[in-house]
Amino acid sequence: MDDADEATLAELASALADAETAVALTGAGISAPSGVPTFRGEDGVWGNEFDPEDFRIGRLRRDPAGFWRDRVDLHDRLFPDSVEPNSAHEALASLEAAGRLEAVVTQNTDGFHAAAGSETVLELHGNAARVACVDCGATRPAEPVHERVRTAIEAGDGEALPPTCPDCGGLVKPDVVLFGESLPRSTFQRAQAFAADSDVFLAIGSSLEVEPAASLPRQAAAGGTLAIVNLASTRADGRADIRLRADVTDVLPALAARLDAD
């Protein structure tokens, strides 16, 4: 970070030090340093490697076998075996432990915030480590399902696709919010309450392109300090009181250190 960033970081640290209720909203950019590709931007997966249209709920219903072939490819691209939380996730967990952060609201489905030690984590878009039955709602670990799909594809065994629910025979989906689905209502309402209560709201590693998650910084900006930490510009930049165009793994550990939360 350059001197201007250092000065902005000091401003953010002091806002957090005075805050009653600080809340963070995170996006794919916080996991990018872990090796998880982002969705947008020049090396984002959407448009370069995958078409988001292939991952709509309508496609799952229309062509479940084709959906699952593409879904396992996307999952394996997003979450290669070795990926794990990075120092930015750990910094948010230590800020929470030090009483400087109330909650992390995340659009990510990688489970990295909880894995890094954050306790109050709201997963707006679900969690890719689980699958859910569209009929009975039963959830179970995703990996055995991914394995069955990979085996069926390798064996050319179309009969084994799509994966179905062992309890009721229903269609199984990734336990994430697919395009065309609405967010889990209670989780989003809790996130809105945190945003409305916050006197500092940090939007971290997100292009803030996808609603309704992108509405949270707007709600927060009404009453408090909105800080945006993101390498690229975002739609909410005009509303931001504090803006850091820097890497999350530079900013967040430095912020935690300034607040003696490291």
Which residues are identified as catalytic?
125
> Which of residues 199 and 247 has its CB atom nearest to ligand APR in the complex?
247
Check whether 168 is labelled as a binding-site residue.
yes
* Site map (CB under 6 A) of ligand APR, residues 8-27, x = contact: -------------------x
Cα dihedral value 20, 18, 221, 109, nearest 10: -70
Count of positions on this chain that bind Zn ion (CB under 5 A): 8
**CA–CA dist 36, 156 (Å, integer):** 29
**Interaction of residue 255 with ligand APR, rule CB under 6 A:** no
Q: Residues 5, 13, 21, 44: which binds ligand APR (CB under 6 A)?
A: 44
Q: What is the closest distance, in whole angstroms, from the C-beta atom of residue 101 to ligand APR in the complex? A: 18
Check whether 133 is labelled as a binding-site residue.
yes
Question: First CA to last CA across the chain, in angstroms?
Answer: 19
**Interaction of residue 170 with Zn ion, rule CB under 5 A:** yes
* Site map (CB under 6 A) of ligand APR, residues 49-88, x = contact: ----------------------------------------
**CA–CA dist 12, 243 (Å, integer):** 9
Q: Give the helix/strand (H/E) hosting 38.
A: none
Check whether 136 is labelled as a binding-site residue.
yes
**CA–CA dist 107, 187 (Å, integer):** 12
Q: Is the peptide bond before 253 cis (omega within 30 degrees of 0)?
A: no
Structure tokens at 144: 């055995």
Residues 98-157 that bind ligand APR (CB under 6 A): 107, 125
> Which of residues 27 and 126 has its CB atom nearest to Zn ion in the complex?
126
Q: What is the closest distance, in whole angstroms, from the C-beta atom of residue 128 to ligand APR in the complex? A: 10
Q: Residues 12, 40, 220, 253: which binds ligand APR (CB under 6 A)?
A: 40
Residues 210-239 that bind ligand APR (CB under 6 A): 210, 230-232
Q: Classify each residue of 225-258 as buried b or exposed e, where b means 16 or more C-beta atoms within 10 Å of its C-beta.
A: bbbbbbbeebebeebbebbbbbbbbbbbbbbbeb
Q: Residues 5, 21, 41, 190: which binds ligand APR (CB under 6 A)?
A: 41
**CA–CA dist 33, 10 (Å, integer):** 23
Q: Give the helix/strand (H/E) hosting 186.
A: helix 185-197
Q: How many CB atoms lie within 10 A of CB 8?
A: 20
Q: Residues 168, 193, 222, 257: which binds Zn ion (CB under 5 A)?
A: 168
Residues 194-213 that bind ligand APR (CB under 6 A): 205-207, 209-210
Cα dihedral value 55, 60, 65, 71, nearest 10: 30
| Annotated binding-site ranges for Zn(2+) | 133, 136, 165, 168
Footprint on this chain of ligand APR (rule: CB under 6 A):
27-29, 32-33, 38-41, 44, 107, 125, 205-207, 209-210, 230-232, 247-248
